Amino acid sequence: MLIGVPKEIKNHEYRVGLTPSSVRELVTNGHKVQVETQAGSGIGCEDEDYITAGAQMVDTAAEIFATSEMIVKVKEPQKVEYEQLSEDQLLFTYLHLAPDPDQTKGLVNSGATCIAYETITDANGGLPLLAPMSEVAGRMSIQVGAAVLQKANGGCGMLLGGVPGVLPAKVVVIGGGVVGTNAARMALGLGADVTILDKNLKRLAYLDDVFGPRLKTQYATVDATESLVYDADLVIGAVLVPGAAAPKLIKRSQLSSMKAGSVICDVAIDQGGCFETSKATTHADPTYIIDDVVHYCVANMPGAVARTSTFALNNATLPFTLALANKGWKRACAEDAHLMAGLNVQGGKVTYEAVARDLGYDFANPQNLIAA
């Protein structure tokens, strides 16, 4: 199979779909890989590294899209990218379709087969290709939240961990999954006063066992969430509904009751965000203020630590990339129900039920498509 890796074009996105070591694995398995020149320069992987691994370098993304059988990316394709896709191509990347009707329409119109990292599952019900980026984003949320709390950045001027004689900041994490767990770990490490909310009592018990009495846990009722958020200095939005739009847990009308200079970091923004006032921002212009509350809603947070993120992501994606290349998407999905869960769009049809429901498409069962 001819596999193509274009350079990412989203604002301040330096990650790359395949590292040189991943390219070598694919070449060793008998495949050809072409990489757009300078695609890996943002993480310190130069063209010579890819050539040594067996890749062919090409000058433009247009050549990648025109000739590749499978295209491996990191972020969802931008308009100029999905307009180049054709029905005989396979796209393997993050898609986050539920909050993005324009991209969904573009992929449907292309006829391409599109498999999303974020909806591939594992035997434990987890999301193994989302997990490494969730770990990164969860840890980053505390770093960026601490920075935004500084007065010069719009915050109230509070040091996250406090100092002797001065109380630490109150951090509230909404959602106890991978993002929330990693956010809590970082916040506790910096000495903050941390509370995590979740509706899963088993998950709360697990978090209590892992972190002990340093971490406060609270069952996520409307009352409890509202009370804690109103008193918080930093709120981390970490709620995920796989493949679907994130629920809006804090309404616009509630924002004025939050502390002036408090900070919201909405890690769920890739799926639309879990605050009603959330809108996607970029690393170039990451924050905005509504009712004296600073919002940080960067949609590709892990792109800021691109080297760590790329290698962590490739560790997770490589087995699936190899399966798709070695077997073709139909056989690979037929033999692996977890990979089949990643199939979001195929042949002009939406094949992920939550996306179809949220965006008003007819749902096409992927099992039927494969059988046909």
In this predicted model, what pLDDT tens digit does every residue of 292-303 receive, in sequence order? 999 999 998 999
| Residue 141 clears pLDDT 90, i.e. is over it | yes
The residue behind tokens 């920075």 is 147
- The C-alpha atoms of residue 4 and residue 55 are separated, in whole angstroms, by 10
**Is the pLDDT score of 154 beyond 80?**
yes
Query: Does residue 255 contact residue 293 with C-beta atoms inside 8 Å?
Result: yes
Confidence at residue 143, expressed as pLDDT on a 0 to 100 scale: 97
Q: Mean pLDDT over residues 161-185, rounded?
A: 97
- What is the pLDDT, as a whole number, of residue 256? 93
Strands (E), 37-127: 56-58, 70-72, 90-93, 113-116
pLDDT attached to residue 241: 83
Catalytic annotation, pick one of 31, 96, 198, 336: 96
Share of the chain above pLDDT 90, in %: 95
What pLDDT is recorded for position 372? Answer: 75
- What's the Cα-to-Cα distance from 159 to each of 143, 153, 167, 169, 192, rounded to whole Å? 12, 13, 9, 7, 9
**pLDDT at res. 242:** 82
Give residue 197's pLDDT band: very low, low, confident or very high (50, 70, 90): very high
Residue 96 among the catalytic residues = yes
What is the tens place of the pLDDT at every residue in 301-321? 999 999 999 999 999 999 999
12: Cα within 13 Å, side-chain hemisphere: 14
The strand pairing partners of 346, in sequence order, are 349
CA–CA distance, 296 with 214 (Å, rounded to integer): 26
Mean of all residue pLDDT scores within the chain:
96
Inter-residue contact 232 to 259 (CB < 8 Å): yes
The pLDDT-based confidence of 221 (bands split at 50, 70, 90) is very high
pLDDT of residue 194: 98
Q: Show the beta-strand stretches assigned E in 107-203.
A: 113-116, 170-174, 193-198
pLDDT digits (tens, 9 = 90+) for 261-298: 999 999 999 899 999 999 999 999 999 999 999 999 99
pLDDT of residue 125: 87
Q: What is the pLDDT of residue 11?
A: 87
Average pLDDT over residues 87-114: 97
Rounded to an integer, the average pLDDT of 168-180 is 97
Residues 6+ apart with CB under 8 A from 42: 14, 15, 16, 306
Q: How confident is the model at residue 362 (pLDDT cuts 50, 70, 90)?
A: very high
Residue 128, pLDDT above cutoff 90: yes
Residue 370's pLDDT band, with cuts at 50, 70 and 90, is confident
The one catalytic residue among 270, 295, 336, 358: 270
Model confidence at 244, pLDDT cuts 50, 70, 90, reads confident
